[in-house]
Structure 1
Amino acid sequence: MNGLKIITHWCPSNILARDSKVKQFALIILNQPIKHLETFNRLWANATFRFCADGGSNRLYDTFKHDSHKLRLYLPDEIRGDLDSLRVDVKEYYESMNVKITRVADQDSTDFDKVIALLKEKEEELGKVFDIVALPALGGRFDQTMQSINVLYSMMHEVERRTILVSDESLTVLMDKGTHHIHCQPEYEGPTCGLIPIGAPATLTTRGLEWNLDHRKCHFGGMVSTSNSIAKDLIEVETDSPIVWTIEIKHSEGKQDDFDESYVEDDDE
């Protein structure tokens, strides 16, 4: 067994596949505008749990408030947070639809953290672990963006779980030190990608990129591999320090604002 290389395999874009067999995940809606409905529809349909972190419930409500039928289709399983952002009209609506709303006053954790704690409560009941997909997780206030990245680091050693941040344009994950194979699906992602050493410098070797790195030390203030591009469907990465992998989402032209009701099951039918 000595010298055996352990390879960690990734395929983050499985969460966007309509008939995906990816490990079950919880969708956590954060407090940023929901802009690409095609992506949102797919994530909603594929998720096992759908939670709103405090002000994320405002964003979900505002996305569909002009159509009562669609608004009724998109009901979260629970809203949790310190509830300092939850609007009165939104609270009243979801209460009228029997959505559970839970206030957690702890100010040493973010609303994102509070919903992760909620998921872990569900996992303890069910005896299984779910991946986490957060949307929209990057953009808006810079401190909130960095807190989302911090969540990736805090979850890094939960080896049974993958945590994926979804923004308007990208899928983002954190890969620990070691060897990784990223299985890309051009139907859903790419070609633009990046490898970003947030937290500590990283020495990187890659294969399958347009501009590969060969034992290249990357760090802020020096070289950072942004605006790279995938050249193959299999990307190989070797790193001596945790590294953020991000790749653009491929939106269907003219469909990013479309609503496809076939993605959503109506529980009343």
Structure 2
Amino acid sequence: MTNITTWTCAELLRGESSKPYALIVVNQPTRKDLLDKAWKAATTKLCADGGANRLYDVDNDKIYLPDIIKGDFDSIREDVRSYYTSRGVKVIQDKDEYSTDLMKCIAEVPEDYSLVLLGGLSGRVDQTVHTMSLLHKLHREVYVLDGESFAWLLREIDHHTMGQTCGILPVGIDSARVKTKWLKWDTDKPVLWTCEIRPL
């Protein structure tokens, strides 16, 4: 009998958690409502370099302080860095040229934590592809919340929180076998899944 693991975004979108989540804010525009829910669900919170700018700019009431800001610091604004440093946030500059700011943040997260990336599916194409590649390479639960989209490496589907549109993308493999059931056009192959988020 096959051991099936179900990954669902339902508790994340309710701002709840039954396991440890690490939220990583990346340097892309973010929705305040998604930030609010993901922040409540997360055990630890990080900003990947310019992600600190995004958090600072969307957090009008200045109620959110990340645990760590990490990156090569080619993007973080000086006023943002000073603000978070003055409030005791751990700020780590890592100039390693062989890892992205996102990878640097992931290195700070315990292996038994699930990852929630806030942003990562819009903006520069190379950054979007990098995010999708990480979903494929990391042997852990990774969710990406970005604007109207939500993505993870497909295991099982949660129909309660998904909208009407979806996409299936073969990433990091030469060929794919996808199997779907009850979609308008079903298929039978393992791939990356993206979907629209229902209104919160």
TM, length-normalised to structure 2: 0.92
For 2:131 and 2:178, locate their aligned partners in 1 and report how far apart those are by CA, in whole Å: 23
Percent identity, please.
Answer: 39
2 CA distance for matches of 1:6 and 1:63? 41
Asked if 1:195 corresponds to 2:190, the answer is no
The corresponding residue for 2:75 is 85
The match for 2:44 among 49, 52, 57 is 49
Q: For 2:179 and 2:129, locate their aligned partners in 1 and report how far apart those are by CA, in whole Å.
A: 26
Q: Give SS of 2:27's match.
A: coil
Give the whole-Å Cα distance in 2 for the aligned partners of 1:139 and 1:49. 24
Question: Contact 1:13/1:171 (CA < 8 Å) preserved in 2?
Answer: no
List alignment gaps of at least 5 residues for structure 2: none
Distance in 1, matches of 2:156 and 2:182, equals 10
Per-residue CA distance 1:9-28 (angstroms, 9 max, x = gap): 2213331124x343220000
Distance (Å, rounded) in 1 between the aligned partners of 2:96 and 2:2:
42
Q: Which residue of 1 aligns with 2:196?
A: 248
Say whether residues 1:13 and 2:10 are aligned partners: yes
Out of 8, 18, 25, which is 1:22 matched to?
18
Q: Where do 5+ consecutive residues of structure 1 fail to align?
A: 124-128, 216-238, 253-269
Residue deviations 1:103-161 (CA, integer Å, cap 9, x gap)? 111110000000000113xx6xxxxx110000111101111111111111220xx2xx3
4+ aligned runs moved over 6 Å, structure 1: none
- How has the CA–CA distance of structure 1 residues 21 and 52 changed in structure 2, closer, same or farther, with 3 Å as cutoff? closer
What letter is aligned with 2:76?
L
- Asked which structure has the greater CA Rg, the reply is 1
The structure-2 alpha-carbon separation of the partners of 1:137 and 1:12, relative to structure 1 and needing over 3 Å to count, comes to: same
* Residue equivalent to 1:184: 159
Deviation at 1:33, TM superposition (A): 1.5
Post-superposition shift, 1:100?
A: 1.0
Answering whether residue 15 of structure 2 is matched by residue 32 of structure 1, we say no
Q: Distance in 1 between matches of 2:179 and 2:21?
A: 30
